[in-house]
Amino acid sequence: MNSQTIALAASDFASVKTAGAYMPLTQFGVIDVRGEDAASFLHTQITNDVQHLDASTARLAGYCSPKGRLLGSFLMWRTADAVRLLIAHDVQAAVQKRLSMFVLRAKAKLTDATSEVAAVGFAGDVRAALSGIFDALPDGVHVKVEGPHGSLIRVPDAAHRPRFLWVGPKADVEAQLAKLDGKLTRVPEQMWDWLDIHAGEPRITHATVEQFVPQMVNFDVLGAVNFKKGCYPGQEIVARSQYRGTIKRRTALAHVDHATPGAELFHSDDPGQPCGLVINVAPGENGGVDCLVEIKLAALESGSVHAGSADGPALTFVPLPYAFPADA
């Protein structure tokens, strides 16, 4: 979600929007947490409920610093013998190391499973092709099914197209992918980044570590924070941000000529200080980049917002596919 080096071709967008496409996803790392205390340990460390995570559900979650700032974000689900975390590859090692420091006497062990598994994204008219691999397909967002070839998860639609995520043993996945080439078009992994952006689902990467409390990246709206669960690092700050009144900073969807993750945003009415930060970027359909940006809500009301500097390229904002709570 941070690379602009590979442009997406018009045919790539057409494959997703008018047919079906798949894309191997190497921008992610995988952490497996095993042991009889795996769920209870993670439950005390991250923003969402792990203890009540059932075998047919995946959940978004974040891992915060004691100051409530996100160190990483991930999709998590249960496998036969582990709780699995799919996380941006460039923060995976640091998050795994930090989590491991707090295992202490818990019967839990974190391992890097990235080299053992493969992740593949699907978008568009893909159900018939997937039915040749899985006996059943998940019918709702973040519903998961297990099959002999791994886990298949329905993830939020983007650009009005259904999406699925398949994660399974690498050799098995690669063998099955060979059968898809006659049914679906393979597109670059950056297409998944573009789809995530248009689903309004931010991903914490190295460029934005410790920049945001979860509400700034809409995690409360996306179901990535459980406000009823027990303590975890930063929990008091996250809760205070939720209940102290109006949330003044959110994540918005925008297009701009060029921008990079971590770049500051500046408003035309107050060019001397930043009003936000670029979170994720992906090549746009008609040039430039589409991006998710964290920004003061007041900055969206009038004037113009610019990337990198007060005289940098102006952002054009487009609606997210979901609404904020009325009091936010």
Are 42 and 180 found together in one domain?
A: yes
Question: How many independent structural domains does the chain possess?
Answer: 2
Q: Quote the pLDDT of residue 1.
A: 63
Shared domain for 226 and 190, answered yes or no, is no
Which one of 182, 198, 214 terminates a domain?
Answer: 198
What pLDDT was estimated at residue 255?
98
Instruction: Tell me the two tokens of residue 227.
Output: 């406000």
Same domain, 96 and 144: yes
Final residue in a domain of this structure, among 198, 226, 253: 198
**For residue range 58-87, what is the model confidence (pLDDT) as tens digits?**
999 999 999 999 999 999 999 999 999 999
Residue 191 and residue 225 in one domain: no
Are 150 and 15 within one domain?
Answer: yes
User: Which among 198, 217, 246 is the end of a domain?
Assistant: 198
Q: What is the pLDDT of residues 100-148, one digit of tens each?
A: 999 999 999 999 999 999 999 999 999 999 999 999 999 999 999 999 9
3-state secondary structure the chain: CCCCCCCCCHHHHHHHHHCEEEEECCCEEEEEEECCCHHHHHHCCECCCCCCCCCCEEEEEEEECCCCCEEEEEEEEECCCCEEEEEEHHHHHHHHHHHHHCCCCCCCEEEECCCCEEEEEEEECCHHHHHCCCCCCCCCCCEEEEECCEEEEEEEEECCEEEEEEEEEHHHHHHHHCCCCCCCEECCCHHHHHHHHHCCCCCCCHHHCCCCCHHHHCCCCCCCCCCCCCCCCCHHHHHHHHHCCCCCEEEEEEEECCCCCCCEEEECCEEEEEEEEEEEEEECECECEEEEEEEEHHHHCCCCEEECCCCCCECEEECCCCCCCCCC
Show the domain range for 48.
Answer: 10-198
Strand partners, 119: 167
Q: Are both 186 and 65 inside the same structural domain? A: yes
CATH of the domain at 21: 3.30.1360.120
Query: Is 105 part of any domain?
Result: yes
Q: Are residues 178 and 285 in the same domain?
A: no
> Is the CA virtual torsion 143, 61, 161, 134 positive or negative?
negative
Considering the domain architecture, whether residues 159 and 223 belong to the same structural domain is answered as no
pTM: 0.96
In a domain, 323, yes or no: no
Residue 2 resides in a domain? no
| Domain presence at residue 126 | yes
Query: Which ranges of the chain have pLDDT less than 70?
Result: 1-5, 245, 327-328
Nearest alpha-carbon partner for 102 in 233, 220, 206: 233
Question: What pLDDT, on the 0 to 100 scale, is given for residue 3?
Answer: 46
For residue 9, what pLDDT is reported?
96
- Same domain assignment for residues 41 and 118: yes
Give the whole-angstrom CA distance, residue 304 versus residue 271: 10
Q: pLDDT at position 5, please? A: 54
